[in-house]
Amino acid sequence: MRKRKLGRSNIDGLDPGIAAAVRVLRNEGVETVQSCEGGSGHSFPEPTVRFDGDRAEGYRALEIILRRRRIGQLELRPRQLRRVWDIVDGELVGPLWELTWWSPAYLRSLDSSPAPSCHDEDART
């Protein structure tokens, strides 16, 4: 696959909290189609990038992000990689790959509070 370099004008207008991740992915040839930094008033609850590609493209994109976890001041901790189909007017559209990250607010909370304890629901007394 031929790599494309993404110029500054191509990311103008993207949410600042996700633009660096989009640039990294596009510079490696990943065909991003939608992105959002997530949160209240946004399209997605968490930072998300959607992209086209065959069965292997999601794994390739994840590998790119894992290699570049820190992009400038932005730390990217991947949360989920998934294949999604939207339902538009009762019809399936897709699939697209979707890569999500832990939100910056969540990561900040980890630095300032003790880790939550986990409980096995089957171990009730």
Closest CA to 104 of 64, 73, 65, 67: 73
pLDDT digits (tens, 9 = 90+) for 36-94: 988 888 889 899 999 999 999 999 999 999 888 766 556 678 899 999 999 999 999 99
For residue 78, whether the previous peptide bond is cis, meaning omega lies within 30 degrees of 0, is no
The pTM (predicted TM-score) of the whole model is: 0.74
Longest dimension (CA), the chain: 60
Quick: pLDDT tens for 2-16: 444 444 446 678 888
